Amino acid sequence: MTLVPDEVYNRWLVQKIMGAEVSKKEDPIFPYRQEWMKAFKAGDIEALVSLATDDIVCMSPNDTTVYGKDEYRAWWEEYFQYFKSVAYSEPERSVVIDGDYGTEHSGYMLAIAPASGGGRIRDDGRILTIWKRQQDNSWKMWQTIWNSTNPIGSGTNRYMSRMLQKKVKPKR
């Protein structure tokens, strides 16, 4: 077997960089992703939920699947009881638009802090989101899933982080 990761990666990167020039015009989802990032950083649940379709399916790692807007809201409410966002950026992004659907892949770098105190928790990962164009021409999240690129035992998974919080608590 011949493996040429650098060559494959470089070709992919060039395509994406060249594509990014075009995507400013052809990436109608980008403003909505920016809104999402702003809402996440602010812990603004209503803004996050407003970007979701009624039938959103959200698949967060090590957690059950969330179906529909109400469950999605409840998920975020619980999340922000435990954590606040410290930093979030997406250094990598690709979008494919086909009719009323958009396939968005983004790589993320994230830091959150436990709401009850404690050190920052860093994570790197990627999100795959399918966006759906609405009747008013806006775009909403329809299906979304993510995972971490970091080794098991690191990262910002909420269950893991809760476990860490529990570990810290008895010392008080």
Partner 1 sequence: MSDGPTESLNQHVIKASQSGDVKALVSLFADDALFMPPNDTNVYGVEEIRSWWEDYFTSFSIVSNVLTERDLTVAGSQAFERTAFTGTILPKKDGAKIPDEIRTLIVWKRQPGGNWKISHLIWNSVKPVGAGTNRYMNLMMQKKGRSS
The rounded Cα 36 to chain-centroid distance in angstroms is: 9
Site stretch for partner 1 (CB under 8 A), options 28-36, 71-79, 102-110, 112-120: 102-110
Q: Is 137 in the site for partner 1 (CB under 8 A)?
A: no
Residue 43 CB, nearest distance to partner 1 (Å)?
A: 23
The answer to whether residues 125 and 155 touch, using CB atoms and an 8 Å cutoff, is yes
Q: Write down how long the chain is.
A: 172
Q: Is 28 in the site for partner 1 (CB under 8 A)?
A: no
Site stretch for partner 1 (CB under 8 A), options 17-25, 26-34, 113-121, 126-134: 126-134
Which token pair is 139?
């775009």
Residue 15 CB, nearest distance to partner 1 (Å)?
A: 7
Quote the crossing angle between the two packed helices 158-168 and 68-82, to the nearest 10°. Answer: 30
Site stretch for partner 1 (CB under 8 A), options 20-28, 37-45, 73-81, 155-163: 155-163
**Coil, strand or helix at 156:** coil
Site stretch for partner 1 (CB under 8 A), options 27-35, 41-49, 68-76, 138-146: 138-146
Of 7, 5, 27, nearest in space to 103 by CA: 27
The answer to whether residues 157 and 146 touch, using CB atoms and an 8 Å cutoff, is no
Of 91, 92, 75, 72, nearest in space to 83 by CA: 75
Q: Is 63 in the site for partner 1 (CB under 8 A)?
A: yes
| Residues of this chain that bind partner 1 (CB under 8 A) | 1-5, 8-9, 11-12, 15, 57, 59-65, 94, 96, 98-101, 103, 105, 107, 126, 128, 130, 143, 145-153, 157, 159-160, 163
